[in-house]
């Protein structure tokens, strides 16, 4: 399993600290692939739904989204469709250079194509949303307007983007409400437009998704649906040849992977996915894979680095279901990492302090002398102290310090109403802590 990373080396504590600066525990986990024993994987389709036919059309004029659904169903596969709401609000606009990232609009994206916004999106194509749901496929949020969440790199500097975190959340809410009102369907996963994470004032897509209660839908394998090649045949080949090569090297390579594709046109206004998907599914099926929705994949295997059936995996999953933030932002558990006080606070109080964290960043007021307002665990630490589950001395929380046996006992007594046996350790790892809590909960 090349994707299973051990987080902490022999120098556990130092290593744990170093890792923490790169990635933190987070209510929103970035899901790109998961650790799973079986041959299962998922496929996502962006930017639809699309009522226009495939281009070139080998499917007698049927809407592209319907064509994709039918192909998937023939193989017993279920897709995850990242839909938009309506892109017609982005005019006046003009066409960018064909074959460039601005092929469908210079200032905004227009789906399925420039001046044809009424042929795409959940608002204009409710029949396609109904068709997807009837086929057992999953719908995820790709935002209502597909405006980028914030301004990024030079390439996109001339594009329109959302002006604030509020605007991003309002846009996500609009699509959420569309699916809820129209189909009683609760969206749970989201991928930011053009995968841009920055939001004005130092926020990120993780903040927006936390406010929505979403998980971050990323991907681990590019189904090559976006970039144009010299001709259509080359584009279709690009959709499945790399997959074939990888499976020849290692038939297990796609276990737990999330493959991305387009439910729409590529930059050259063609839809190689319509002819490439069948080959992909045949390859995967021949190798014993089942293609499931991302939610089903997560149901079977929630984490990136630890199997759900392992002792630590079982314990962590139990806590996850109770609303604990057990995983890091990259969806790893890093069970060998030493548990710090900041992490302990975040695990238990991360979800309930999502809004408070954002208010803290805005106000610039620090809750502790050693935790700034932008510290990712500051709000959770403040809450942990208020509940009596944790303590601070002289206005210092000591977020980087390892959790002591006495601190673990205090935390468990207050948060769970049960006290673990006081050990004599000088630190406890994340994995040891999960199993300790799971044992306590069983008593």
Residue with Cβ nearer Zn ion (47 or 117) = 47
Residue with Cβ nearer Zn ion (147 or 358) = 147
Smallest distance from Zn ion to CB 374, Å = 29
Contact present, 81 and 49 (Cβ < 8 Å):
yes
The label of the residue with tokens 């558990």 reads 333
Smallest distance from Zn ion to CB 79, Å = 15
Residue with Cβ nearer Zn ion (194 or 427) = 194
Smallest distance from Zn ion to CB 146, Å = 6
Q: Residue 191 corresponds to which tokens in the numbers above?
A: 């991928």
Q: How many residues bind Zn ion (CB under 5 A)?
A: 2
Smallest distance from Zn ion to CB 411, Å = 42
Contact present, 333 and 315 (Cβ < 8 Å):
no
Smallest distance from Zn ion to CB 439, Å = 45
Smallest distance from Zn ion to CB 353, Å = 31
Residue with Cβ nearer Zn ion (81 or 411) = 81
Indicate whether 263 belongs to the interface with Zn ion (CB under 5 A): no
Residue with Cβ nearer Zn ion (47 or 237) = 47
Among positions 39-58, residues that touch Zn ion (CB under 5 A) are 46-47
Among positions 304-343, residues that touch Zn ion (CB under 5 A) are none
Find all residues with CB under 8 Å of 209, minimum gap 6, and list them. 28, 190, 215, 216
Residue with Cβ nearer Zn ion (32 or 47) = 47
Smallest distance from Zn ion to CB 109, Å = 7
Residue with Cβ nearer Zn ion (194 or 300) = 194
Residues that bind Zn ion (CB under 5 A): 46-47
């Amino acid at each position: 399993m090349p994707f299973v990373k051990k987080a902490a080396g022999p120098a556990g504590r130092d290593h744990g600290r170093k890792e923490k600066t790169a990635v933190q525990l987070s209510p929103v986990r970035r899901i790109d692939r998961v650790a799973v024993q079986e041959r299962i994987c998922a496929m996502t389709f962006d930017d639809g739904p699309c009522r226009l036919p495939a281009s070139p059309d080998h499917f007698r004029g049927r809407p592209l989204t319907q064509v994709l659904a039918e192909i998937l169903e023939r193989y017993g596969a279920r897709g995850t469709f990242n839909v938009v709401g309506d892109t017609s609000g982005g005019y006046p606009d003009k066409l960018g250079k064909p074959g460039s990232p601005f092929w469908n609009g210079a200032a905004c994206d227009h789906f399925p194509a420039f001046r044809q916004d009424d042929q795409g999106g959940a608002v204009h194509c409710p029949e396609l949303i109904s068709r997807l749901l009837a086929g057992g496929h999953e719908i995820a949020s790709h935002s209502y307007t597909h405006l980028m969440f914030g301004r990024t790199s030079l390439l996109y500097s001339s594009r329109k983007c959302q002006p604030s975190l509020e605007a991003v959340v309002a846009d996500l809410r609009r699509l959420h409400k569309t699916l809820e009102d129209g189909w009683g369907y609760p969206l749970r996963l989201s991928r930011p437009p053009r995968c841009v994470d920055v939001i004005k004032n130092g926020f990120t897509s993780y903040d927006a998704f936390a406010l929505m209660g979403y998980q971050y839908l990323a991907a681990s394998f590019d189904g090559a649906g976006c970039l144009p090649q010299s001709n259509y045949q080359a584009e279709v080949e690009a959709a499945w040849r790399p997959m074939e090569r990888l499976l020849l090297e290692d038939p297990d390579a796609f276990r737990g992977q999330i493959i991305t594709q387009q439910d729409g046109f590529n930059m050259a206004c063609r839809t190689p996915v319509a002819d490439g998907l069948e080959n992909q599914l045949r390859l995967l099926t021949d190798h014993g894979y089942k293609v499931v929705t991302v939610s089903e994949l997560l149901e079977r295997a929630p984490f990136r680095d630890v199997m759900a059936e392992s002792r630590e995996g079982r314990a962590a999953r139990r806590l996850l279901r109770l609303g604990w933030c057990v995983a890091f932002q990259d969806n790893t558990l890093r069970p060998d990492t030493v548990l710090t006080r900041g992490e302990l606070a975040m695990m238990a109080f991360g979800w309930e302090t999502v809004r408070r964290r954002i208010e803290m960043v805005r106000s610039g007021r620090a809750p502790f002398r050693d935790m700034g307002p932008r510290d990712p665990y500051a709000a959770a630490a403040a809450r942990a102290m208020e509940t009596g589950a944790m303590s601070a001395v002289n206005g210092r929380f000591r977020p980087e310090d390892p959790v002591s046996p006495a601190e673990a006992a205090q935390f468990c007594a207050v948060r769970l109403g049960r006290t673990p046996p006081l050990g004599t350790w000088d630190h406890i790892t994340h994995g040891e802590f999960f199993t300790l809590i799971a044992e306590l909960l069983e008593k």
